[in-house]
Amino acid sequence: MDEDRVGGIGKKIVGSIKETVGKVTGDTKTEAEGTVEKTEGKVQNAVGGAKDGVRDALKD
C-alpha cells in the first residue's frame, strides 16, 4: 500500500472528526476546515491508489 493511501486515510479521519466537532459546536470555520481536510484525504488516497495500480501493472 502506497504511503499516500495511508496519509489520505488519516486526513479523511481527522477531517471527519473536525467536521463533526464543528457541526456539534456550531463552529462553521472548524466544520469547513474538516470538510476541506476530508476532501484532501480522499484525493491523496486516490493518488495512492493510482500509484498502486501502476506499480501492480508494471509487475505483471
pLDDT tens figures, 5-55:
999 999 999 999 999 999 999 999 999 999 999 999 999 999 999 999 999
Look at phi and psi of residue 50 and say left if phi exceeds 0, alpha if psi is from -120 to 50, else beta: alpha
Work out how many domains the chain is built from and give that number.
Answer: 1
Q: How far is Cα 15 from Cα 34, in angstroms, rounded to an integer?
A: 4
**Structural domain of 33:** 3-59
Which residue blocks in the chain are alpha helix, DSSP H? 3-25, 28-59
Chain centre to alpha carbon of residue 22:
18
pTM of the model: 0.84
